[in-house]
């Protein structure tokens, strides 16, 4: 009895909207190309949020929840990301083409770097002379610190 009374209390417009929402969610209906820019615009997003909030607060709970799912699916199906991804992939050269261009930019690679040359010239290992102890007459003397401040 309670379900029967609930179905009678729903207006015809709400029943039609509920059926349309279910059909849109079940069938994979793509968004028309002419309608996609309107959905992806800031004004379209604001109007979509207002419509969903209206349906949530002023219609049956079933239609309100369905409107959330329909709004999500509408945004997902009208997304333009796959087109952008394809255009980026078409513009990016392959790694083989990049390698050819890099070889043209660096025609003669050096066998030794500047750092390696300096190390071989300045500090050859095993060739330098051994260190020797030298006696000296110099004796360092520290002056007296009487009266000096600690700072």
Going by C-alpha positions, the residue among 131, 129, 112 that lies closest to residue 120 is 112
Percent of the chain residues past pLDDT 70, beyond the cut: 84
Asked whether residue 37 is domain-assigned, the answer is: yes
Q: Which structural domain, as residue segments, surrounds residue 38?
A: 2-84
pLDDT of residue 35: 87
Sheet strands (E) in the chain: none
Q: Give the C-alpha separation, 32 to 39, whole Å.
A: 11
The Cβ of residue 21 has, within 10 Å, a number of other Cβ atoms equal to 21
Predicted TM-score (pTM) of the model is 0.51
SS3 content of the chain, % helix, strand, coil (to 5): 60, 0, 40
Residue 31 pLDDT class (50, 70, 90 cuts): confident
**Does the structure show a pLDDT above 60 at 67?**
yes
When pLDDT is cut at 50, 70 and 90, the band that residue 81 belongs to is: low
Question: Is 43 inside any structural domain?
Answer: yes
Average of per-residue pLDDT values in the chain: 82
Q: Is residue 108 part of a domain?
A: no
CA atoms lying within 13 Å on the CB side of residue 94? 2
Give the mean pLDDT of 5-15.
82
Task: Tell me how far apart the alpha carbons of residues 48 and 99 are, in angstroms, rounded to a whole number.
Answer: 49
Does 68 fall in a domain?
yes
Indicate the number of domains in the chain: 1
Contact by Cβ (8 Å): 25, 70: yes
pLDDT over 70 (residue 127): no
In a domain, 12, yes or no: yes
**Residue 99 belongs to a domain:** no
Residue 107 predicted with pLDDT over 80: no
Residue 27 lies in a domain: yes
Using DSSP's 3-state secondary structure scheme, residue 53 falls into helix
Asked whether residue 51 is assigned to any structural domain, the reply reads: yes
What band does 48 get if pLDDT is binned at 50, 70 and 90?
very high
């Amino acid at each position: 009895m309670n379900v029967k009374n609930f179905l009678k209390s729903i207006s015809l417009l709400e029943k039609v909207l509920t059926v349309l929402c279910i059909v849109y969610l079940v069938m994979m209906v793509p968004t028309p190309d002419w309608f996609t820019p309107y959905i992806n615009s800031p004004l379209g997003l604001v109007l979509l949020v207002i419509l969903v909030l209206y349906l949530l607060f002023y219609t049956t709970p079933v239609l309100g929840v369905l409107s959330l799912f329909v709004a999500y699916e509408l945004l997902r199906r009208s997304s333009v990301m796959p087109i952008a991804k394809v255009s980026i992939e078409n513009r990016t050269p392959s790694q083989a083409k990049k390698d050819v261009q890099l070889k043209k930019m660096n025609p003669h690679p050096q066998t030794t770097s500047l750092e390696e040359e300096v190390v071989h010239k300045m500090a050859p290992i095993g060739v330098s002379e051994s260190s020797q102890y030298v006696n000296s007459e110099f004796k360092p003397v520290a002056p007296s610190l009487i009266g000096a401040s600690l700072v």
